[in-house]
C-alpha cells in the first residue's frame, strides 16, 4: 500500500522539485532630470540697460495646459491657485547674469513636464515661459538658456545605462 502511494506520488514530487521560482522583473529605473541653466551676461535689463538677476521658478507639472494658458501675473501672484491640480511641486532660484547652474531633479512619479517661469522686469516682447517634457524612467537632460528677456528650453532623454541597448557585435 505504501509502495503504491510512493509510486503514485513520486512523479508529482519530481515535477515540484524541478519547478523554478519565476524571476521577478527588474524594478523600473527612477525618472531623473539633469537641468543645466545657462545665463548670458546680459539678462533681465533694467531701464538703463544694465543686467540684473532674475527670479526663476521651476514647476513640476502633471499637465501643461494650465501653465501654458496662464498669464504672467496669474503665475507670478498666485501660481498655486492657477496651476491647481497640475502642480506637483516648485523650486525658486535667483539667477545672476552670466551664471551657470547644474541641478539634479528626481521628479515625482506623476510629473510629465517641467515648466519654467522667469520674472523679467520688462514684459514687452519677453519670452518668460518655457516647457520641457519629462520622460518617465529615463535620464532627462534639459538645458535652459536665459538671454536678455528670453527663456528657451531644450530637452532630450535616454534610457539609464543598465537599460541601454548594446550594439550587436
SS3 assignment for the chain = CHHHHHHHHHHHHHHHHHCCCCCCCCCCCCCEEEEEEEEEEEECCCCCCCCCCEEEEEEEECCCHHHHHCCHHHHHHHHHHHHHHHEEEEEEEEECCCCEEEEEECCCCCCCEEEEEECCCCCCCCECEEEEECCCCCEEEEEEEEEECEEEEEEEEECCCCCCCCCCC
Ordered domains of the chain (ranges, CATH): 32-158 (2.60.40.4150)
pLDDT grade for 11, boundaries at 50, 70 and 90: low
Per-residue pLDDT at 25: 83
Once rounded to an integer, what is the mean pLDDT over residues 75-84? 96
Q: Which three cell numbers stand for residue 13?
A: 514530487
Per-residue pLDDT at 2: 56
Per-residue pLDDT at 21: 66
pTM of the model: 0.80
User: Which residues, at least 6 apart from 74, have a Cβ–Cβ distance to it below 8 Å?
Assistant: 82
Per-residue pLDDT at 18: 59
Dump pLDDT digits (tens) for 21-38.
667 888 888 999 999 999
Dump pLDDT digits (tens) for 38-57.
999 999 998 899 999 999 99
Q: Which residue has the higher pLDDT, 17 or 138?
A: 138
Per-residue pLDDT at 167: 54
Dump pLDDT digits (tens) for 104-113.
999 998 999 9
Amino acid at each position: 500500500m505504501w509502495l503504491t502511494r510512493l509510486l503514485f506520488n513520486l512523479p508529482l514530487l519530481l515535477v515540484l522539485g524541478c519547478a523554478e521560482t519565476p524571476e521577478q522583473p527588474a524594478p523600473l529605473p527612477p525618472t531623473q532630470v539633469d537641468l543645466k541653466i545657462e545665463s548670458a551676461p546680459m539678462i533681465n535689463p533694467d531701464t538703463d540697460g544694465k543686467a540684473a538677476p532674475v527670479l526663476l521658478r521651476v514647476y513640476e507639472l502633471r499637465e501643461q495646459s494650465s501653465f501654458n494658458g496662464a498669464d504672467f501675473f496669474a503665475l507670478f501672484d498666485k501660481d498655486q491657485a492657477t496651476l491647481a491640480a497640475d502642480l506637483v511641486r516648485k523650486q525658486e532660484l535667483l539667477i545672476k547674469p552670466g551664471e551657470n547652474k547644474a541641478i539634479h531633479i528626481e521628479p515625482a512619479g506623476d510629473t510629465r513636464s517641467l515648466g519654467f517661469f522667469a520674472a523679467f522686469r520688462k514684459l514687452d516682447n519677453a519670452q518668460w515661459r518655457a516647457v520641457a517634457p519629462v520622460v518617465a524612467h529615463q535620464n532627462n537632460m534639459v538645458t535652459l538658456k536665459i538671454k536678455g528677456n528670453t527663456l528657451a528650453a531644450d530637452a532630450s532623454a535616454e534610457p539609464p545605462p543598465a537599460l541601454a541597448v548594446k550594439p550587436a557585435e
